[in-house]
Structure 1
């Protein structure tokens, strides 16, 4: 954590009241000018900030502004780290928050801004109950193509080891700067895992119980961009591939901003928190089995009020985009894609080898996160899905 300069008392208004999407980091200076931002609170993943070229690209537009930098957070951010950033932000009294990095940096910035604006303590604010006050403008600049955090109204953190999600429209960044140039330096593993995350977001959004006429086109276009380009991500990826992945990831983020994620994400979280499996890799292991599971939906176990026919139609649409005829073929195709990009497909590959391990994972699943899934999950169904993946 480095405090570069002192700051002055902020005015908490902005001329930009809805999310604006920019395609170049070169636009940030003009956006800051429009906001009247003489002081900036910069939340950054240091490696991404320097390695992506963002630091160099932003140098000129930040040179004559008061900047406070916060970098002290983990990949899986803890409440204590958010509170440390919150205290620094309050001291800085900055007029704008600038977030640069992957999903973690963006979520940290969103949470700091959200908590700072509320009249209640952060722990109470984890569950908004109305009267939520907007914070300062947030400019989100992703350096990965995958999390979609620049487009969403929720953010995640860990409280006493438990993953929590905070959701409110005021959490969504004011401006998203989606510049594929900044993703060129992503390590191969980061590019793969973030791309897999975006792919799973798009798939899950399509079958979510909240899928609608706005989310479905976003998710469909996201898949059309991600599917042909994901095998080519990483070091040496072409400009065209990086641009397609960035656009696809952003569209997937816009889709889940409406629908939220479903079972594949819900079942993946214990793999990350308990075993340290990278998020995108964890979700990718589960997306195929959940596809098959959802294809078996019936009247009795359907979560979607529109009925099982709607769910099955969505599943058909998804597998057709894979070039497959049914869910089983689709799941096999997905497994092949995951293998091709070098990510694990079996729980045994990440250390889950026994019934005891399965029960421990199942016990950590947040069942509320399964409510968006179109087919209901019983505890027994959760255990079986895990067990079949060993």
Structure 2
């Protein structure tokens, strides 16, 4: 048997206030005074000096604020890469992503595309990247996506939504500072946290499950239950700490296995309707009792406990063309279906079944 030699994030710092050590962490990686660090920062922090004032800029370092109103696109990566190339005297020393999963994915993609030729869309898929990316650092300000640890960067391209999945994608350094998540709105906290919960369910119930992914998946699953169901004894700080750890473990679990049906169908929603990833996963997972009965039952309890009302009827007005596109995007993610249903997955799921599920959403 051939075993996959998976990459891991080589360096990670965890703790409240650890963001303050960023400058000393990255300074040895500066290539020269002409080679800047480029900070990609969620534009929600544009007027938030509490975070931005703690970013130490030197020489030609610069901050580029990133709008997260839409899911990350391959065209957005191409635009950022061009902007960076045209505005810097030398190849940057590194890319620092500060934000939720969308910004972290963009940081990983920009790092890769600054050292690989062509358009970003050409690298959507598995192991298509030829050259290592620039030094890149991930600093999550939301907990749940697992983007800080995963070997993929999920992007919507001109004809598909699919990640750049490669051994060169994971960050070289991650800073896990739970304090950075303190101002996340309740709904967003829930949707992003459920991304982590769904990661753990899809990993633990998948056919790709192994001892490594199970260990991480179990930890993420248990932490999510603590945070979202049994949190009455936890302080706000403890909740933030535990959810950030859940996100890391959930992400690690899918590094060593794969996600499943909720993610495949959520990609379809995102491609056609522009639905944000976290809420898309929730909308889909709410209807997957047939495939993940215990997980969906727990999800519904969590939803009720936190008074979350999901959007209804989002697929009701779709044209046949749009529905077909959604189904094709979802069905095209073969590793996700194989993990969920096994090698004979095509005999267990059909376009007709997917259409029926989408029409319930």
TM-score (norm 2): 0.82
Q: Which runs of 5+ in 1 are unaligned?
A: 1-16, 295-326
- In 1: Cα distance, 2:355 partner to 2:98 partner: 38
- 1:21 paired with 2:12, answer yes
- 1:370 paired with 2:337, answer yes
**How many residues get paired?**
333
- 1:352 paired with 2:282, answer no
- In 2: Cα distance, 1:184 partner to 1:232 partner: 19
Tell me, what secondary structure is at the counterpart of 1:43? strand
Kept in 2: contact 1:52–1:143 (CA 8 A) = no
Q: Which runs of 5+ in 2 are unaligned?
A: 1-7
Structure 1 residue 66: Cα displacement: 2.7
Q: Which has the larger radius of gyration?
A: 1
> Is the alpha carbon distance of 1:77 and 1:130 closer, same or farther for their aligned partners in structure 2, counting shifts above 3 Å?
closer
Kept in 2: contact 1:205–1:256 (CA 8 A) = yes
- In 2: Cα distance, 1:128 partner to 1:119 partner: 17
2:72 to 47, 63, 77: 77
Structure 1 residue 359: Cα displacement: 4.7
Once superposed, which parts of structure 1, at least 4 consecutive aligned residues long, lie more than 6 Å away? 354-358
Superposition pairs of residues 39-54 of structure 1, within 5 angstroms? 39-48=36-45, 51=48, 53-54=50-51
Structure 1 residue 225: Cα displacement: 0.9
Kept in 2: contact 1:226–1:245 (CA 8 A) = yes
Q: Deviations over 1:19-46 (max 9, x none)?
A: 2111121221221123235520111112
Structure 1 residue 168: Cα displacement: 0.4
- In 1: Cα distance, 2:332 partner to 2:241 partner: 36
Tell me, what secondary structure is at the counterpart of 1:171? coil
Structure 1 residue 50: Cα displacement: 5.1
> Is the alpha carbon distance of 1:129 and 1:182 closer, same or farther for their aligned partners in structure 2, counting shifts above 3 Å?
closer
- In 2: Cα distance, 1:184 partner to 1:276 partner: 27
Q: Which residue of 2 aligns with 1:148?
A: 146
- In 1: Cα distance, 2:255 partner to 2:47 partner: 29
Structure 1 residue 130: Cα displacement: 5.8
Tell me, what secondary structure is at the counterpart of 2:153? strand
- In 1: Cα distance, 2:114 partner to 2:218 partner: 36
Q: Deviations over 1:131-190 (max 9, x none)?
A: 711122111001000111110111021212631211101111101111100000112221
- In 2: Cα distance, 1:161 partner to 1:50 partner: 35
Kept in 2: contact 1:281–1:344 (CA 8 A) = no
State the superposition RMSD in angstroms: 2.9
TM-score (norm 1): 0.76
Tell me, what secondary structure is at the counterpart of 1:372? helix
